Amino acid sequence: NRRDNIWKYKEFLPVNADNRVSLDEGGTPFCKCEKIGKELGVDLYVKVEGSNPTGSFKDRGMSVGTTKAVDLGVNMVGCASTGNTSASLSAYAARAGLKCAVVLPSGKVALGKLAQAMFHGAKVFAIDGNFDDALKTITELALDGELYLLNSINPFRLEGQKTIGFELVHDLGWESPDRVILPVGNAGNISAIWKGITEFRDAGYIKDTPMMTGIQAVNSAPIANAVKAGEDTVTPVENPDTIATAIRIGAPVSSVKAMRAIKESNGTAETVTDDEILDAQKYLARTEGIGVEPASAASIAGLKKLVENGDVDKGERVVCIVTGHVLKDPNVAIDACEDPTPVSSDPNEIRNVIRTL
């Protein structure tokens, strides 16, 4: 049975739903992960955002954001992106009939995302710098009125993404999990999910709220560094680096909102290494059959680390948000595996191997 899309919650969305720009986003799978849950001693669910139309959670924000752009009558939209934001905006702009310009960090965007941004018709600029440089550049163009900016500094993006919070409460039978774990880059998503959950609490649908837990790559962790040091303000990381290029962000634009979400929810933040991310990515794919891109696997790697540190109680009901599809970064996936075994057409060559599996 087809699950509802985000417009099921149109009364909570501050745009004219009659003008919605939609690719039937949201209503993503909510998978119980018995094996990993048993291994880690928690009641584990995974919210599979890679099942959205362009393969990441960004579609929820872009659906509402481009609907606002149509409401405003703009004719060009734009964003800086580590990849998924541009892939999503390019598709939604095409659907809305809006021109689209995206600025990407040269050579640091996963293949699938670059293919989408280009193929859906955005004008793609490659900047000799990182995501933070790209965001500064396109923000100047937005302030000059050249285009409507749809990075998560735009509140309508967060309005769309808060529906993840609505759905996971709905998926749990109108209950709150104990903890929500997700990867954090520009920090819009952790802020948005918290907003959605508190709106459902204030509407009287739920009483409890989850501990919001953000996971970052150890060399790209401005939010986690601040939380672990007990600081309220976030110090940008000058040269962020991680194989999880989606979260290779040093100056999160929503750091104030994210720190508030973590504090208000009695949550936390943790860092994981690239190796821990890659191990978790393969572990999730081969244990539970859920294929995600590296950044998304940070939520599983982070859960494992938090359990090992004793920061997660046995039996906690945990929802890990896995934010993008494995196909987004095919090079990392292929590099993590042994090459295909060349064989002739003689079935015995294969028989001798498969009998050893």
Ligand X SMILES: Cc1ncc(COP(=O)(O)O)c(/C=C/C(=O)C(=O)O)c1O
Closest separation in Å from C-beta 9 to ligand X: 19
Query: Dmax of the chain from CA atoms?
Result: 68
22/186 with CB nearer ligand X: 186
In terms of DSSP bridges, do strands 123-127 and 99-105 run parallel, antiparallel, or are they unpaired? Answer: parallel
Closest separation in Å from C-beta 219 to ligand X: 16
| Contact positions vs ligand X (CB under 6 A) | 56, 81-85, 152, 183-189, 246-247, 293, 295-296, 323-324
43/151 with CB nearer ligand X: 151
171/293 with CB nearer ligand X: 293
Q: What angle do CA 27, 224, 221 make, to 5 degrees?
A: 90
Q: What count of other Cβ atoms lies within 10 Å of the Cβ of residue 144? A: 8
304/328 with CB nearer ligand X: 328
To which H or E segment does residue 215 belong? strand 211-217
In 3D, which of 293, 289, 283, 97 has the Cα closest to residue 185?
293
Closest separation in Å from C-beta 202 to ligand X: 23
176/189 with CB nearer ligand X: 189
Closest separation in Å from C-beta 166 to ligand X: 17
188/210 with CB nearer ligand X: 188
Closest separation in Å from C-beta 76 to ligand X: 18
Closest separation in Å from C-beta 238 to ligand X: 18
Inter-CA distances, 217 with 19, 109, 223, 245, 334, Å: 39, 16, 10, 10, 21
Inter-CA distances, 258 with 7, 41, 248, 335, 343, Å: 25, 27, 17, 33, 52
The backbone torsions φ and ψ at residue 273, rounded to the nearest 5 degrees and listed phi first, read -85, 165
3-state secondary structure of 234: coil
